């Protein structure tokens, strides 16, 4: 199959996919987006399609259905597989559908990439670590899950199977596959409908509501801006030594969820006391268990891409999200919220 420097992004109209598409287009490549719009949105890619007509195309379809479509894969030499069922709420609502969708789609995309001779990056998740207590979480850490009677762990298990599929094909067939475990990624276009905490907090703060913190709020997470994440993904797939390996991608600066709520309230100029706590079982049902702490080790990523230094601080991202939620002019926002660019990497 003739190579035309075309990048295929499954889940391309989603939160991360749309930002990745912007990053890839800037590098001069053609981009083909596949998304069934179950969680992705046309509005995420509208500007991209209008500004780069002829270089960016969109196919509204399931990634699984397009895996056997030669027209979709024509000229593709690079694949980012981001299409997946995501969000704690979706996992709780229908874990069987989530598992079928994630594992079957990943298998089909991997095999299609192999037939096309394309390199492929598979987006996995920090959820694969389950409740592993050893921090920071390294790529070789033990994966510790709860019982199968608790559907909470099914997402991490499904993502672990995705990783096994990619790594096995890389070893046995020479598939140029890279696996990334994404930690808490935040930024513009993320929605809070399926359990994502930052957009939920921002929406509550803008409405003037109290921010709802689940549990005691002392659980910790590390939040990384989507633009830093997608820059790392784009660079990583260009590294030959990354093939057949797993990489954490995320921030190494942890905050408690209560501290996160305080950051959001400050960004919104809201009273600091506007916080209420809610037991997990009132949200997700009896027996729900959430890992208390999540923090990635990113030494492997840092070494592979010649330095991973996120440009966006948590406050810079939150300030932008609050301004966007209030309808601030995007051009003015870009001038005030954009962090100082990093020096060029060599």
In a domain, 307, yes or no: yes
Q: How confident is the model at residue 174 (pLDDT cuts 50, 70, 90)?
A: very high
- CB of 217 closer than 8 Å to CB of 264: no
Per-residue pLDDT tens digits for 14-67: 999 999 999 999 999 999 999 999 999 999 999 999 999 989 999 999 999 999
In a domain, 343, yes or no: no
Q: Which tokens sit at 346?
A: 């060599």
Per-residue pLDDT tens digits for 179-229: 999 999 999 999 987 679 999 999 999 999 999 999 999 999 999 999 999
Say whether the peptide bond before residue 136 is cis (omega within 30 degrees of 0).
yes
Q: How confident is the model at residue 87 (pLDDT cuts 50, 70, 90)?
A: low
Q: Would the pLDDT of 7 be above 50?
A: yes
Q: What's the total number of domains in the chain?
A: 1
CATH (domain of 246): 3.40.50.720
pTM (whole model) above 0.95:
no
Per-residue pLDDT tens digits for 277-325: 999 888 877 777 889 999 999 999 999 999 999 999 999 999 999 999 9
Candidate list 155, 214, 280, 284, residue with the active-site label: 155
Annotated catalytic residue 145 = no
* Domain of residue 192, residue span: 6-255+282-337
d(CA 98, CA 100): 6
In a domain, 23, yes or no: yes
In a domain, 263, yes or no: no
- The length of the chain in residues reads 346
Say what angle helices 257-268 and 197-207 make with each other, to 10 degrees.
40
pLDDT of residue 273: 83
Cα-based distances in Å from 74 to 6, 8, 177, 224:
9, 10, 19, 34
Per-residue pLDDT tens digits for 259-275: 999 999 999 999 988 99
């Amino acid at each position: 199959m003739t190579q035309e420097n075309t990048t295929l992004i499954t889940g391309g109209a989603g939160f991360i996919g749309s930002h990745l598409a912007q990053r890839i287009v800037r590098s001069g490549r053609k981009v083909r987006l596949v998304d069934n719009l179950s969680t992705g949105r046309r509005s995420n890619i509208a500007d991209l399609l209008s500004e780069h007509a002829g270089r960016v195309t969109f196919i509204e379809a399931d990634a699984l259905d397009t895996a056997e479509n030669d027209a979709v894969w024509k000229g593709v030499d690079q694949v980012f597989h981001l299409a997946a069922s995501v969000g704690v709420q979706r996992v709780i609502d229908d874990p069987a559908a989530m598992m079928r969708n994630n594992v079957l789609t990943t298998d089909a995309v991997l095999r299609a990439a192999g037939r096309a001779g394309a390199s492929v990056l598979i987006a996995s998740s920090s959820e694969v670590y389950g409740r592993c207590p050893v921090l920071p979480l390294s790529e070789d850490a033990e994966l510790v899950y709860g019982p199968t009677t608790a559907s909470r762990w099914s997402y991490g298990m499904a993502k672990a199977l995705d990783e096994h599929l990619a790594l096995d094909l890389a070893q046995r067939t020479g598939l140029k596959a890279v696996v990334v475990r994404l930690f808490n990624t935040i930024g513009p276009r993320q929605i809070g409908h399926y359990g994502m905490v930052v957009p939920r907090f921002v929406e509550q703060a803008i409405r003037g509501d109290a921010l709802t913190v689940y549990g005691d709020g002392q659980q910790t997470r590390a939040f990384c801006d989507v633009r830093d994440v997608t820059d790392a993904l784009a660079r990583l797939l260009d590294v030959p030594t990354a093939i057949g390996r797993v990489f954490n991608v995320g921030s190494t600066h942890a905050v408690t969820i209560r501290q996160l709520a305080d950051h959001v309230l400050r960004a919104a100029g809201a009273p600091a006391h506007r916080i209420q706590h809610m037991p997990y079982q009132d949200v997700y049902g009896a027996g729900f268990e959430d890992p208390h702490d999540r923090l990635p080790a990113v030494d492997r990523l840092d070494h592979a891409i010649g330095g991973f230094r996120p440009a966006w601080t948590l406050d810079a991202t939150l300030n932008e999200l609050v301004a966007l939620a209030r309808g601030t002019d995007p051009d003015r926002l870009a001038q005030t919220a954009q962090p100082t660019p990093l020096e060029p990497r060599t």
